[in-house]
Chain A
Amino acid sequence: MRHRLEFTGKKLFRMGVLLLGVSLVTFLLMCASPLDPLQTNVGQTALGSMSPEQVEKLEAYWGVGIPPAQRYIGWLWDVCHGDFGTSLLYRQPVLEVVGERLANSAGLMFFAWVISGVLGLALGVAAGAFRGRWQDRLIRGYCLVITSTPAFWLAILLLLIFSVWLGWLPIGLAVPAGTDASSVTLADRLAHAVLPALTLGITGVANIALHTREKMVDVMESDYVLFARARGESARSAVLRHGLRNVILPGITLQGASVSEIIGGSVLVEQVFSYPGLGQAAVTAGLGSDMPLLLGITVITAAIVFAGNLAADLVYGAVDPRIRKGAAGR
């Protein structure tokens, strides 16, 4: 137990360092951005018709002219006190914006995460077990096609088929447009989330399935599966008793790591579906030079990704007897 706590402590320290680095890089990239916040957000014509005092006020609002070091340290200081600042575009506290957007995205991402994990594992195990046969070829073919398909393109394709041609599902947004917030039903929300979640899930499956297949092939060629067969266990038993058990462990790591892919994918997919989630907010903040919001989103998503990996590491340690017992023996 002590070992586990020590391990977690070390990881959390690393997470702090990582987040600091991520925020700094984001900040520097934004500083290097050629976009002028005033021209982007106010517009050339509007700027031209303003008095110098008004422009000065706006410059102060968008942080133009403040030395970068001072801006970053100021932001960092506030964050250390729990204040992520106010979004310049939404004129709301960053944490509020992120919270609201995350609530929209969370269901989407969680659904995609579960789908890609379960389906990816199942397809990978099947492909590995039927290595070289038609089942394997079919699954591998599917995975390769999907991996080489950009997520946004797939999103447009699904949109075309299910929303435009078939008309089964709404074409975008998270709720029906022009409806009172109180009259939006759960079914409405679900109908709007299906396509984006499906796109993310389908994309995620391919990666997990291909990795799982490789591991499964290794397991099926291992000495212990050979011995199991020699002891009269059926092929079915070799796959289900030994294959699955040994594939689950790397599966946990993959599943933890796939959090980052899903968050990354959601940026593009939400853009295509005009889904008001975290990904879309990130794009808006980036293009609109909303520094506090972008930093907030980046740091929080980085923390989520890190938490995903940390959770995988901890679960791994609890599941794998070699680590569990090895640590207990020390």
Chain B
Amino acid sequence: MEPVLQIKHLSIDFTRYERGTKRRRLTVIRDLSLEIYPGQVVAVAGASGSGKSLLAHSILDILPHNSHVEGEILYDGTLLTPERIERLRGSEIVLVPQGVSYLDPLMKVGTQLRKGKKDPGTKERYRIALNRYGLGEETEELYPFELSGGMARRVMIASASAESPRLIIADEPTPGLDAGTAGRILGHFRELADEGAGILFITHDLELASEVADRVVVFYAGETIEEARAEDFADVACLRHPYTKALWYAMPKHGFKPVQGSQPYPGQLRSGCHFAGQCETCREECLERETIPLRPYDGGRVRCLYPKEEGQV
């Protein structure tokens, strides 16, 4: 089977002006690769501010003007050109954003969902989609400020499912929800995947990622440092990168041990392994190498010279 989405060595950087006219390039995402097959949920997990949302925006080609994208994004095996994504976004490729601020505050939900179309077919389609998530006709007459957090999320999932999408990009769809509601929202995504859509699930919550996804891509300082199977998270010994292991130990059910130090900001990166500052098993070689490549390892991928070494215990 062919992957519905294939990202090869994607890098995103921004041109910024600092101190007057001095231009500076700031790399936010570097050398990111991943594949999503139909029916699969792939989670991208990383700390806040690590550039995860930009990944979603770059696929949809809605990045700000001062950004620059390198690498290849393939959809259905062919290159996703700006012309192609313009045709596909909102129909085959849909976004489920974070929260209610993504809805126009001055437009009724129904009007907003229909994107200006008024024919009965379109109306019916969105009515069915809202219904599927337990939202009645009266929801269409509400303004976004009248929706609860959970309702807003369901409205946005409905907006995605109404299009019968083949790729769904979910950007942090659960923060601010109680466990029960969040669980139901995640269930909706699983359901859409089982219907054949590929799902890119962007989150800062590794535990959540390992529960809902088939594969988990871990993000660190703008780089993919590990790609793991969801079941690898059952046992820390199956995990490859020391950062993932540290995160595993930081989960409440595994001892709640905080990760020491913090991620380097984009623009402060040196050569060699970027995790070196926080790694307990860092060796001289890790700093001497220009770059550490992402390589296949034990059914997943890892960006580490000495994976699976027990660091944090």
> A: which residues have CB within 8 A of B?
132, 222-224, 226-233, 237, 241-242, 245-246, 249, 320-322, 325
Q: Which residues of B contact A223 (CB under 8 A)?
A: 97-98, 101-102
Return chain B residues, CB-CB under 8 Å to A325: 143, 146
Q: How many residues of B contact A (CB 8 A)?
A: 25
Q: How far is the CA of A132 from the CA of B143 in the complex (A)?
A: 32
B146 CB to nearest A CB, Å? 7
In the complex, which of the residues A227, A241, A245, A321 contacts B95, with contact meaning CB atoms closer than 8 Å? A227
Interface 9-mer from B18-26, B43-51, B103-111: B103-111
Residue in B65, B90, B159 with the greatest tally of chain A CB atoms within 10 Å: B90
Interfacial residues of chain B within 22-44, with CB under 8 A of chain A in the complex: none
A233, B90: Cβ atoms closer than 8 Å = yes
List 10 additional contacts besides A230-B95, A231-B94, A232-B86; criterion CB under 8 Å. A224-B101, A226-B62, A226-B97, A231-B89, A231-B95, A231-B159, A233-B115, A242-B104, A321-B106, A322-B143
Flag if B91 contacts A246 (CB, 8 Å).
Answer: no
Q: Is A224 in contact with B159, judged by CB distance below 8 angstroms?
A: no
- Cross-chain contact A230 with B60 (CB below 8 angstroms): yes
Given known pairs A230-B62, A230-B97, A325-B143, the reply for A246 and B105 (CB within 8 Å) is yes
Q: Assess A224 versus B102: contact at CB under 8 Å? Given A230-B60, A237-B115.
A: yes
Tell me whether A321 and B143 are in contact (CB under 8 A): yes
0/1 interface trace, chain B 95-135, chain A, CB 8 Å (1 if under): 10110011111110000000110000000000000000000
How many angstroms between the C-alpha atoms of A325 and B145 in the bound complex? Answer: 10
Name the distance in Å between B53's Cβ and chain A's nearest Cβ: 10
Cα-based distance from A321 to B94 in the complex (angstroms): 28
Query: Nearest residue in A to B87 (C-beta to C-beta)?
Result: A232
Name the A residues within 8 Å of B106 (CB-CB): 245-246, 249, 320-321
Task: Give the distance in Å from the alpha carbon of A88 to the alpha carbon of B94 in the complex.
Answer: 74
Which residue on B lies nearest to A320, using beta carbons?
B106
A227 and B97 contact, CB distance less than 8 A: yes
The 25 listed contacts between A and B (C-beta, < 8 Å) are A224-B105, A227-B103, A228-B115, A229-B62, A229-B89, A230-B90, A230-B94, A231-B89, A231-B90, A231-B115, A232-B89, A232-B91, A237-B116, A241-B107, A245-B104, A246-B104, A246-B105, A246-B106, A249-B106, A320-B106, A321-B106, A322-B105, A322-B143, A322-B145, A325-B143
Q: Across the interface, which residues of B come within 8 angstroms of A246, CB to CB?
A: 104-106
Whole-angstrom distance between the Cβ of B260 and the nearest chain A Cβ: 34
CA distance A23 to B98 in the complex (A): 54
The 0/1 profile, CB within 8 Å of A marked 1, for residues 64-103 of chain B is 0100000000000000000000100111001101100111
Residues of chain B lying within 8 A (CB to CB) of residue A237: 115-116
Interface centre among B60, B94, B101, B102, by most chain A C-beta atoms within 10 angstroms, is B102
**Minimum distance in angstroms from B185 CB to a CB of chain A:** 17
Which residue of chain B has its CB nearest to the CB of A131?
A: B65
Which residue of chain B lies nearest to A240 when distances are taken between CB atoms in the complex? Answer: B116
